[in-house]
């Protein structure tokens, strides 16, 4: 299992450092207003574009190519269907509070994400070793975006 940690760069920042052990893999920047994401891995740039009326769906681009897509079938459920390179994964919340997510391939659990800390903006992520790093960062983006939407709804804005 690949174990990653995601932690906000600063207290009020939308940027997140994603690391494995002591090594920082990438810095995921999420724009404050449109929710777009950007990161680099191994010298290659990736962008994440939210889609849909509530901006709950997302597309991962490498250059001009779409390499992954996530859809949220229901606005009222913490569930994402992810497709990449012919594989279909499901990211689904466990429990009422949404502090833990499981990553499923079919009905088999292949990964787990736990929100940590008071605000839940720190993440502990576990993925299979053969899952591409860009897809791991994309999953982290989906969870962090869901956290932002829920915080905005709770504050009434």
- Kindly report, residue by residue over 86-117, the tens digit of the pLDDT: 899 999 999 777 789 999 999 999 999 998 87
> Could you give the number of structural domains in the chain?
1
Confidence tier at 118 by pLDDT (50, 70, 90): low
CATH number where 63 lies? 3.20.90.10
Please indicate whether residue 141 or residue 52 has the higher confidence score (pLDDT): 141
Question: What SS3 class is residue 136?
Answer: helix
Domain that holds residue 129: 2-155
Q: What is the pTM of this model?
A: 0.90
Characterize the bridge pairing of strands 79-84 and 44-51.
unpaired
């Amino acid at each position: 299992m690949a174990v990653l940690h995601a932690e906000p760069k600063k207290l009020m920042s939308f940027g997140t450092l994603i690391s494995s052990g002591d090594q920082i893999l990438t810095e995921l920047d999420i724009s404050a207003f449109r929710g777009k994401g950007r990161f680099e891995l191994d010298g290659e740039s990736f962008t994440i574009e939210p889609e849909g009326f509530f901006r709950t769906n997302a597309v991962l681009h490498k250059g001009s190519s779409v390499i992954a897509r996530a859809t949220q079938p229901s606005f009222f459920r913490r569930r994402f269907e992810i497709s990449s390179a012919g594989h279909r994964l499901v990211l689904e919340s466990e429990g009422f509070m949404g502090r833990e997510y499981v990553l499923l391939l079919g009905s088999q659990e292949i990964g787990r994400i736990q929100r940590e800390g008071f605000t839940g903006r720190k993440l502990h992520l576990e993925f299979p070793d053969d899952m591409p790093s860009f897809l791991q960062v994309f999953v982290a983006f989906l969870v962090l975006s869901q956290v932002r939407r829920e915080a905005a709804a709770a504050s009434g804005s």
